[in-house]
Structure 1
Amino acid sequence: MAESVTGCVTLSSCNARATGMWIMLNRRRRVFLPSSVGTVAVGDVITVTGWQEEDHESAFVMAQSCAPSSLSIPGDVSGLSRAVYGRQGRPDHGLLVIELLGPVLRWLLAAGWGALAREIAKGSLRTVRTMYQDVFMLYRRRGLPYQVTRYLHTLLGRQEEALGHLQAVAAEVLLQAEAAGESGLTTELILSRVMASLKSPDGILLEPSTLLVSSVGRCEDGYWFSPTLFFHRQRALTLLRGNQFFLEQPDDPQIRSVLAHRFSIITGPAGSGKTQMVLRVAEWCRAQGLGVALTALTGKAASLLGPEGQTLHRLLGYGGGGYSVAVVTQDVVFVDEMSMLVWPILSRLLSVCRGQIVFSGDPRQLPPVGSVSVITELLGCLPALVLPPFLREDGPERVRVTTVKCGSFGHEQDSLVRRVLSCVQEGSEWQVLAPVHDGELGVRRLNHLLQAAVNPEGVPVGAGFRVGDRVMVTKNCYTVTPPVYNGMVGMVVGPDGLGVRLRLESGRVVTLDPTIVELAYCLTVYRAQGSRYDYVFVVMPTGIRAGYLEDPRVQEVARTRGREQTYLLVC
């Protein structure tokens, strides 16, 4: 059923294939606006009509039409005063506040920043005048998004070459680079990107000494970082430099190379045996009487480390209020899937761990979402055991990929079901992967399709599950002992009161709330990282959603999940 949403555009970005743009309305409603429907900019007030869908991030509205609208907040002095000050009445200097910042306050109120607008209006006259001259103080001090602050800057009639604006552009350049995985930019590169982001760069001269100040970024050896990343990175690298020889030397040369220093890395391509090497080194450590902690950056990867596996966040006691663990007492801590490790978590781990740390991962795998991964920089400064590709009897394992072209969504679904049923009949291990949750070829639709094909006679147990269904846990559960982690896979064995009883891959039987369990015949590519299967079928849709598979690291993970064969089903 179609729905209409009206609001201010508070965020916008083009999608990977440039077939449209993602926008946010009033900070909370996510919308995809195809190019054929129209284009908008941050600050615009629009009404969007479309269908609700969902992808790997969250629910969103797929726009079918878009029309201009108007602000819901009155623009006259008395009406705006009531909206800002309410029943308390306007203070003595309130009329001047409305005169100076009226357009800004009105837009913030309409766009979902009502609390901020009222706080600004009740502030001192000195602060209001400063903000009138440089509205980018909201970007620097209050974390208001750059796109929004830039719109407010133009709303007040300010020029693009204003110093506050140029400094904000430079700070945004650093943050965007770090979100894309770039760690450190040169002065020249920052200046060129600042100029490229300006609408009218002609005649604007950028002076590094006034542009690149401490509030914008910090410099080391000619490379600039955002202040937050610089702090965490400096702290982590300082601790890593004390990488002295640590444990006794074992006889096995591979284990010896891993344990020769306090900090080391196990790396190699998919299928090279990184997780098995971690378990092998951990077993040797236990035999020496050492305390061992096996951790990973995801629940799925942690489950592959055995019953003692846990997420790194749990080891550090991470919760909504921060970290609760002051000291990690284990002698050796193993961190798997380090491609998703970020500087703040690494900094915390190094500050509380008194023993040895062994990292494991592949730089070609998926990075953390919206942050800089540490793996590339750590590979350049820590000793690493590089594992070769898995060796078959006939030589190194090659990623065997077959592309299957289908004429339509229906043909692609039929081809998928036929190949999966062939694996079921032969008793082969298989897994279907898709890039998004919703849509004709999304995870949800394919899971129901495969449930009907693979498990048609399963006895219903409620919540859409049947006995024999393959399922995955979607949220950590600490009410059972030992805990069950997000990403663990199992099979439904029956109902249990209001819950559903599962047999996990380890053989353990647990009862869980069905709201934290979902079908797992088809998984997202992100969910599959760290796992391998005999046969893998990757659904590759066309159009808007195909952009999710354009990232080379997503392609690498998708292509390398199959031990025997990976099929790419293309529509």
Structure 2
Amino acid sequence: MIPFADRDGTAPSDDTAVTIRGRVQHITFQNPDTHFTIARLLTDPDGHRVTILGYMLLTGGGESLEVTGHWQEHPRYGAQLKVTRYQVLLPDTVDGVRRYLASGVIRWVGPKLVERLVRHFGADLLEVIEQRPHLLKDVRGIGDQTAALIEDGWKAHHAARHLMQFLQDNGLKPAYCGRLFKALGEDAVALLQEDPYCAVDEVPGIGFVVADTIAGHQGMPADDPRRIRACLGHILDQAVAEGHVFVPESQLLAQSQRLFGIETEALAGMVDAMVRDRDIHVSDRETDRRVYRMSLYEAERGIAARLNAMLALPLQEAAVSPETIAATVIQRLAIHLSSAQQAVIQGVLTHRVAVITGGPGTGKTTLVRSLHTVFHAMGQSVCLAAPTGRAARRLSEVTRQPAATLHKLLGYNPMAGGFEKDQDDPIDADVFIVDEASMVDTLLMAQFLKAVPLTAVLILVGDIFQLPSVGPGNVLKDIIASQRPAVYHLVEVFRQAEESPIVRNAHRVREGECPDLQAGHSLDLLAPFHFIAAARTGDVVRTIIDLCVNWIPDQYGLDPVRDIQVLTPVHKGEAGTINLNQMLQKVLNPGGRQRPAKFHPGDKVMHLRNNYSKDVFNGDIGRVTSVAAAPAEGLGVDFDGRRVDYDATDLEELTLAYAISVHKSQGSEYPAVVLPLLTQHFVMLQRNLLYTAITRGKQLVVLVGQRRALDIALKNDRPKQRLSSLRQRLIG
């Protein structure tokens, strides 16, 4: 007899694997991205109600299943069967076929069409669809198009189930099924059997480890050339993810041998093969050869070539005196420039490429507005740009001039899969001013410079003390270090900014000094800067929740979702983005708790990777406006007044954004910022990270945590070096 849960609702005490059959009565929860499902099963033959949970591709009630798994006891919901393997049992009766198709297994087949098909074919209907689909046209009202839709829908559904079973059989969670099926289609299993590593390049979010697991289960030899190539690519891609542009060859070979057990000779031979195939480039200029992904090698070389070409062209100097500059700015902007600011503007006017860098309150925005005005008065067309949508909107707000993202300027064409603007069709402008330039990585800067006319003027504006770009390279810092363009370091903090405790403390942190914690020592004071001491992680988290829900909205009148941003150094752990988002979602958007989905209407969400076809980019924050009744249909998100729709397979590009990483906050400002500081985040406690977080706050910054963690961050001024050759290439 099959060991079901005891009559009192508890699970059997042993851990024996059990197999049961039954019909799905109701799907309680299903994640449309990973297909993790909780359902109620009516068992055969005695009709017990059993809760099953696991990764299953189910479409609705009525499906007959055979499931294998282990009983577990949930403290609230009682006995549940955790499914490790399942199989859909195709019905062989008329009623069974009717229920099965009515559950929605074929997207295009509704209840009325199901009834007509069942009346015509009876219990043989499923066999007809699979083996003799041409007979479907014998049914009144079904033509070639409808028959083809039914056949294709049936094939797609069963191909997806076949893929899910394949993943389970190869030691992987079926959570990857959606992404793999979307990218590889109905032939996914055949393609993965032929070459598991095709998934690494073809499917976003599917890494080497997943492909290597499949390869191992398929019996691929450890020294198979496809595996060696994938191993080397994996090490290179890991380095790129950490911000490096190249990897020393000795390190690449040593890591590959240590991690994956491949002989050095075989690795070296594959390096040569990848060079011949132009997958990578190896530089022989150094003792320890540098290995680049070809795209990064060409991008880094392209940046240096374009900048050096611009710097080599003589610039007709504008005969503009400081007095004229000051008068123009006063007349048009009502801004009184200091003598130092006038000197910077006059200096910029004499250089084709210039960099302006400085911290908060040093007048970067004033200089950008003034430069725009002066160039415009000289009859020059000026293009204002920033790396992200939020940074571009902020630039437009403070300058009162149009500003665009670099991606928008470059005109990405999703149909062609590339940018429309380049050296053959450059952006039409005389002067380019790029704000938040420290956020621009190697690939984006290379593409942008291709589209900047060599005869134009380029001004890069940024704060090199902030965190570097999320993508590879440290472009702005390398350009400054090369000493090739003119560089203007702004150090004077102007009086109005100096009065701000946030600005004052940001500069103290930049110099390694402890911020002034006295002004905000009492939560009863409406001070702009606070440090709240909390020794335990749980206390830190509870304090953050209370700040966001009660204290900040009550004391400062700020909206808890729109105006308050929790920043944290890490993703995992009690004070990481994942847990904080779950907790903040419960208290800030409680109306969604009855919905069995990750996202609820009203949720604050962030887009995680550049999606040019949707015109949404990494770090963009929006609000969920609608969630379809069936989770598989996706949701709608409002990004600053523009609705973007996501289907089920797109949801991996979204995450909750009540709490985000400090890295993701770059280029943005928020009325209020809350930051946990804990010694358990030791690896991430860096001065530039703390500085970046503080400079994101406009009205209020609250640090919550341990004083020792604050001291660690202040002392740690040795951010991890990024391997790049840009400085040397610029020097020549």
Could you say whether these structures have the same fold, taking a TM-score greater than 0.5 normalized by the shorter chain as the test?
yes
1:197 to 248, 256, 259: 259
Kindly state the Cα deviation for residue 336 of structure 1 after the two structures are TM-superposed.
Answer: 1.0
Cα displacement (A) at 1:334 = 0.9
Q: Does 1:348 align with 2:363?
A: no
1:17-41 Cα distance to aligned partner (Å, 9 max, x none)? xxxxxxx9899xxxxxxxxxxxxxx
Match of 1:380, SS?
Answer: helix
Match of 1:311 in 2: 405
RMSD: 5.5
Residue correspondence of structure 1 range 115-134 to structure 2 within 5 A: 116=184, 119=187
| Cα deviations by residue, 1:451-502 (Å, 9 ceiling, x for unpaired) | xxxxxxxxxxxx979xxxxx99999xxxxxxxxx97799xxxxxxxxxxxxx
Change in CA separation of 1:290 and 1:5 when aligned onto 2, cut-off 3 Å: closer
Residue type of the partner of 2:315? F
Paired letter, 2:386: A
Please name the residue that 2:298 is paired with: 231
Deviations 1:482-539 (A, max 9, x none): xxx97799xxxxxxxxxxxxxxxxxxxxx957999xxxx9775567544667x85414
- Displacement of 1:108 in angstroms is 9.5
CA distance in 1, matches of 2:687, 2:70: 36
Tell me, yes or no, if structure 1 residue 177 matches structure 2 residue 236: no
**Deviation string for 1:52-84 (max 9, x for gaps)?**
xxxxxxxxxxxxx9957137599xxxxxxx99x
Residue 218 of structure 1 pairs with residue 281 of structure 2: yes
**1:347-496 equivalence runs, <5 A:** 347-354=446-453, 355-369=456-470, 371-372=472-473, 374-381=475-482, 382-383=484-485, 384-388=487-491, 390=493, 397-399=507-509, 400=515, 402=517, 403-406=531-534, 407=539, 409-414=541-546, 417-418=550-551, 421-423=554-556, 432-435=565-568, 436=577, 439=580
Q: Residue 266 of structure 1 aligns to a residue in which SS?
A: strand
Q: Is the 8 A contact 2:441 2:471 kept in 1?
A: no
CA distance in 2, matches of 1:225, 1:352: 24
Corresponding residue of 1:538: 674
Aligned partner of residue 378 in structure 1, secondary structure: helix
CA distance in 2, matches of 1:153, 1:271: 55
Matches within 5 A, 1:24-423: 69-70=84-85, 87=131, 106-107=166-167, 111-112=177-178, 113-114=180-181, 116=184, 119=187, 136=197, 139=200, 145-198=207-260, 200=261, 205=265, 207-212=267-272, 213-214=274-275, 215=277, 216-220=279-283, 221=285, 222-242=289-309, 243-244=311-312, 245-249=314-318, 250-251=320-321, 252-305=342-395, 306-308=399-401, 309-318=403-412, 320-321=414-415, 322-325=418-421, 326-354=425-453, 355-369=456-470, 371-372=472-473, 374-381=475-482, 382-383=484-485, 384-388=487-491, 390=493, 397-399=507-509, 400=515, 402=517, 403-406=531-534, 407=539, 409-414=541-546, 417-418=550-551, 421-423=554-556
Residues 1:4 and 1:204: Cα distance change in structure 2 (over 3 Å):
farther
Instruction: Tell which deviates more after alignment, 142-151 or 301-310.
Output: 142-151
1:68/1:362 CA distance change after superposition, 3 Å: farther
Give the deviation of 1:333 after TM superposition. Answer: 1.0
Distance 1:293 1:543, change over 3 A: same
Cα distance in 1 for residues equivalent to 2:688 and 2:56: 33
SS at match of 1:398: helix
User: Matched residues in 1 for 2:381 and 2:71: separation?
Assistant: 58
Aligned residue in 2 for 1:559: 694
How far off its partner does 1:119 sit? 4.2
Structure whose residues are more often helix by fraction: 2
Identity %: 19
Which residue of structure 1 lines up, in the alignment, with residue 705 of structure 2? 570
- The aligned length equals 441
Structure 2: distance between partners of 1:370 and 1:447:
32
- Amino acid aligned to 1:307: R
- 1:118 CA drift (Å): 5.1
Richer in strand (by share) = 1
For residues 686 and 81 of structure 2, what CA distance do their matches in structure 1 show? 29
Query: Could you tell me whether the CA contact under 8 Å between 1:105 and 1:117 is conserved in 2?
Result: no
- Do the aligned residues in 1 keep the contact of 2:363 with 2:494 (CA within 8 Å)? no
Structure 2 residue matching 1:404: 3-state secondary structure = strand
Distance in 1 between the 2:703 and 2:460 partners?
Answer: 32
Query: Partner letter of residue 312 of structure 1?
Result: L
Quickly say closer, same or farther: Cα 1:282–1:487, change in 2 above 3 A: farther
- Checking the alignment, whether the CA contact within 8 Å between 2:544 and 2:674 is kept in structure 1 is no
CA contact (8 A) 1:303 1:488 kept: no
Change (3 A) 1:176 1:553: farther
Whether the 8 Å CA contact 1:538–1:566 is kept in 2: the answer is: yes
The one-letter amino acid of 1:538's match is V
After superposing the two structures, state which structure 1 stretch, 547-556 or 355-364, moved more.
547-556
Alpha-carbon distance in structure 2 between the residues aligned to 1:421 and 1:553:
31
Relative to 1, partners in 2 of residues 1:570 and 1:186: Cα closer, same or farther, differing over 3 Å?
same
Contact 1:258 1:266 survives alignment (8 Å): no
Q: Which whole-Å CA distance do the structure 2 matches of 1:445 and 1:300 have between them? A: 26
Change (3 A) 1:564 1:549: farther
Cα distance in 2 for partners of 1:564, 1:386 equals: 26
Shift of 1:332: 0.3
| Whole-Å separation in 1 of the counterparts to 2:703 and 2:404 | 32
Structure 2 residue ranges without an equivalent (≥5)? 1-26, 37-53, 58-67, 75-79, 90-125, 134-161, 322-341, 510-514, 518-530, 569-576, 591-600, 609-618, 624-639, 646-656, 707-732
Question: Deviations for 1:260-312, whole angstroms, at most 9, x for unmatched residues?
Answer: 43333222234433333222222221121111011111233223333322222
From the CA coordinates, give the structure whose radius of gyration is larger: 2
**2:84 & 2:32 partners in 1: Cα distance?**
7
Residues 166 and 211 in structure 1, CA contact (< 8 A), matched pair in contact too: no
